[in-house]
Amino acid sequence: MSIRRLPAELINRIAAGEVVERPASALKELVENSLDAGATQVSVRLHAGGLELIEVTDDGSGMAPDEMRLALERHATSKLADDAIDRVTSFGFRGEALPSIASVSRLTLESRVRPSSGSGQAPPDGWRIEIDHGEQSGEGPAALQPGTRIRIEGLFDKVPARRKFLRSPRAEYAACLDAVKRLAMARSDVGFTFDHDGRRILTLQAADAPTRVAELLSHELDRHGIGIDCMRDGLRLTGVISLPTFNRGMADQQYLFVNSRPVKDRLLVGALRAAYRDLIARDRHPIAALFVEVPLDEVDVNVHPAKTEVRFRDPAAVRGLIIGGLRHALDEESQRSAAREQAAAPVMWTSSASYVPEPNLTQGLAGVREQQRAFEPVSFVPHARAEPAVEPVPSYPLGVARGQVAATYIVAEAEDGLVIVDQHAAHERLVLERMRAAREGGAVARQALLIPEVVELDEPDCDRLEGAAAELADMGLDIERFGSTAMLVRAVPAALGKTDSARLLADLAAEIAELGAPLGLRDKLDHVAATIACHGSVRAGRVLSVAEMNALLREMEVTPRSGQCNHGRPTWVKLGHGEIEKLFGRK
Ligand code: ADP
Ligand code: MG
């Protein structure tokens, strides 16, 4: 065996494998550098999703020629003045991005120093250095405004192994746009433009954070969003999340930040999910932009080459803050649903002007400014009432039942319009909330079976159920192991009424298998309760009496979170009088 030191060129290419996975990651590094250099305006230009060209121009500090040479060397950085890697506030600090990118592309770096303001000096001339796959291929004077322009062409052209894994220009373009959006949300005080194949995609003026986030997220969030602003144990959480009924098939509109750094952290994503659990179907995803602020020594940002993951000193506290904060906000808004007349209140956030920056966040390192974001949730303002009907209708928000349609929907007349309720979805929600309330109050009514029922299942499922037997008993489901491949059901929750125990147990076993260990007991119970509730609900297709229908409506009005079913669909919609009139062309 012969051990050898690898040449610098090869080391850079190895590092490139981690730092620049695809055009979007190279672009992210460049924009981060611009932000670290104190830019107030960053312009991005791409061709073919960045595969042909990525160009980033900024008006930041700029570099002198010798600094430019150094910047292209591995582990050369201006951002760790005193080796304090545990207190980094700049985006970069590893000094690997530029040399790594330069080793797998043709890179042109142009820069011109911006003299310190008030010095009265004219800016020195600009300089240009070209690198072709790690080798300097040219240099000379450059004409540009103070700041820096970096151009990357033919990324990975000579790295077939990597090239193979790249997706279509369209997919790479989408990833690049996403990367820029994340950084633009992180630094709303900086202006951005983004061009792709000669087309202007984004123009963002410097703004406060709520305005910037609103510009970049779905515009519908004005009506379907909830502002978040909470604090606990020195941790702060701000931002906006969507109502459960306003969800997406992909988790692509979830933007998470830790101390202004965009992250894709498992812990945070998991906490977001957990906050919505049982409000939204498992294959649907909320929209969110959430900013977590923690003291610098509570978080380690140096755990991932692309710096998209972080490690918290106290992960449980962060998880608790997110789940608790979001859950609280969601509960407050729980009577809102995506029903058209309902979500009439725009979410307004304001940015407070009187912010005194914390000294430890601003001192020292280049160009990072913390800015104040204050997201102020505005509570739901009821929609203006329409004219009352001729015969006064008692003013229940969900009205008085008038009939049932298709044995599935309840039609009710409210003071301000016509309400249609999905009886199964609504009832399922009520059963869940009832079970939850009972559990919190202590005892859940159970109904003992005269003859215990034997349910056959495979062995792993029996193991799972047996392991959860104590928790299930708390919810009124008494089961026991009965040999290796069967369970004995002795009692079921009274809320369920008559139920198919075999299917219930199979569903629960699947539920437990899927949730696995990391979820807390409470989370798990909620989930299991949702499964039980679904079993116990009034099925679509059952004919209800008027009294039953009214009882359901009244219970919905006083039950938290009754606006959506356990899968995030609305349980009811309202057609306002105005809308009905429009339907008939009367307005
Ligand atoms: P890092 O950002 O981790 O320091 P990089 O390889 O990304 O490492 O950049 C190396 C150095 O080059 C930076 O520390 C910075 O001093 C300088 N630099 C890079 N991009 C710019 C820019 N756009 N403006 C000014 N300086 C820059
Ligand atoms: Mg960098």
Only one residue has tokens 């629960």, namely 508
pLDDT in tens, 96-118: 889 999 999 999 999 999 988 77
Q: How remote is the CA of residue 106 from the centroid of ligand 2, in Å?
A: 18
What would you report as the CA-atom Rg of the chain, rounded to the nearest whole angstrom? 29
pLDDT in tens, 426-460: 888 887 777 777 767 666 677 888 888 899 888 88
Closest residue by CA, ligand 1 atom 8? 95
**Residue 424 contacts residue 413 (beta carbons within 8 Å):** no
Q: Given a cut of 80, is residue 289 above it in pLDDT?
A: yes
Determine the Cα–Cα distance for residues 489 and 498; give it in Å rounded to an integer.
Answer: 13
Closest to 52 in 3D by CA, of 185, 196, 148: 196
Q: Given a cut of 90, is residue 477 above it in pLDDT?
A: no
Closest to 330 in 3D by CA, of 570, 562, 561, 525: 561
Q: What are phi and psi of 231, to 5 degrees?
A: -145, 145
Q: How remote is the CA of residue 482 from the centroid of ligand 1, in Å?
A: 66
**Best probe residue, ligand 1, of 77, 88, 94, 145 (max atoms within 8 Å of C-beta):** 77
pLDDT in tens, 171-180: 899 999 999 9
Q: How remote is the CA of residue 33 from the centroid of ligand 1, in Å?
A: 5
Burial of 364 (0-12, 13-18, 19+ CB in 10 A): middle
**Residue 498 contacts residue 539 (beta carbons within 8 Å):** no
Give the ligand whose atoms come closest to the C-alpha of residue 38.
1
Length of the chain as a residue count:
587
CA dihedral 268, 271, 273, 276 (to 10 degrees): -140
Number of other residues whose CB lies within 10 A of the CB of residue 379: 9
pLDDT in tens, 137-170: 999 999 999 999 999 999 988 887 777 778 888 8
Closest to 16 in 3D by CA, of 152, 192, 194: 152
Closest residue by CA, ligand 1 atom 2? 92
**Residue 377 contacts residue 347 (beta carbons within 8 Å):** yes
Give the bridge partners for 235, in sequence order: 232
Determine the Cα–Cα distance for residues 28 and 150; give it in Å rounded to an integer.
Answer: 13
Count CA within 13 A, CB hemisphere, residue 426: 28
This prediction's pTM: 0.65
Which DSSP symbol is given to 60?
S
Answer yes or no: is the C-beta of 253 below 6 A from any ligand 1 atom: no
Average pLDDT over every residue of 3-30: 80
Answer yes or no: is the C-beta of 93 below 6 A from any ligand 1 atom: yes
Give the ligand whose atoms come closest to the C-alpha of residue 39.
1
Evaluated on CA atoms 265, 266, 267, 272, the torsion sign reads positive
Answer yes or no: is the C-beta of 79 below 6 A from any ligand 1 atom: yes
**Residue 148 contacts residue 37 (beta carbons within 8 Å):** yes
pLDDT in tens, 31-75: 999 999 999 999 999 999 999 999 999 999 999 999 999 999 877
Answer yes or no: is the C-beta of 34 below 6 A from any ligand 1 atom: yes
Atom of ligand 1 nearest to the CA of 150: 23
* Number of helical H runs and strand E runs in the chain: 18, 22
For the chain, report the end-to-end CA distance as a whole number of angstroms: 87
Give the amino acid at 511.
Answer: E
Closest to 506 in 3D by CA, of 449, 439, 456: 456
User: Confidence band (pLDDT; 50, 70, 90) for 1?
Assistant: low
Answer yes or no: is the C-beta of 29 below 6 A from any ligand 1 atom: yes
Answer yes or no: is the C-beta of 60 below 6 A from any ligand 1 atom: yes
Answer yes or no: is the C-beta of 37 below 6 A from any ligand 1 atom: yes
Give the ligand whose atoms come closest to the C-alpha of residue 148.
1
Atom of ligand 1 nearest to the CA of 60: 24
Distance of CA 331 to the CA centre of its chain: 18
Give the bridge partners for 130, in sequence order: 108, 138
Closest residue by CA, ligand 1 atom 27? 33
Dihedral-angle region of residue 198 (phi above 0 means left; psi in -120 to 50 means alpha; beta otherwise)? left
Determine the Cα–Cα distance for residues 587 and 576; give it in Å rounded to an integer.
Answer: 13
- Predicted pLDDT at 373: 31
Give the lowest-confidence range in 6-15, 186-195, 501-510. Answer: 6-15
Burial state string for 409-422 with b = 16 or more CB within 10 A and e = fewer than 16: bbebbbbbbbbebb
Give the lowest-confidence range in 265-279, 413-427, 504-518, 552-566. Answer: 504-518
Structure tokens at 448: 């003992």
**Best probe residue, ligand 1, of 78, 150, 307 (max atoms within 8 Å of C-beta):** 78
Atom of ligand 1 nearest to the CA of 93: 3
